[in-house]
Amino acid sequence: MKHTKRLEENIFADVVEKLQSLTVSQRKYLHEILSDKKNLSVASKKKLLKKSYGVWVDRQEIKNSVEYINEIRKGWRSRLTG
């Protein structure tokens, strides 16, 4: 049970960290999705997910997505052991 709680805390911290790196327009888009009070069907959620595909396409610091993700994941291991 402690492991699950720690994992959930780490996931939450990771989400918060990623939210802070979003651009203003990405934050607005996310806010619009999350503030919508109606319950979305699975089909609607899939449409929203597809609409969000490529939101990082113009990010200059991301040259190779695989390398970028691997760099992010390196930090995960140090947080879990530290």
Dump pLDDT digits (tens) for 54-73: 777 777 777 887 888 888 88
- pLDDT at 51 > cutoff 80: no
Residue 44 half-sphere exposure toward CB, CA atoms < 13 A: 6
Write down the number of H helices and E strands in the chain: 4, 0
**Average confidence score pLDDT of the chain:** 77
pLDDT for residue 37: 62
5 falls in which pLDDT band (50, 70, 90)?
low
C-alpha 82/C-alpha 13 separation (Å) is: 14
C-alpha 62/C-alpha 70 separation (Å) is: 12
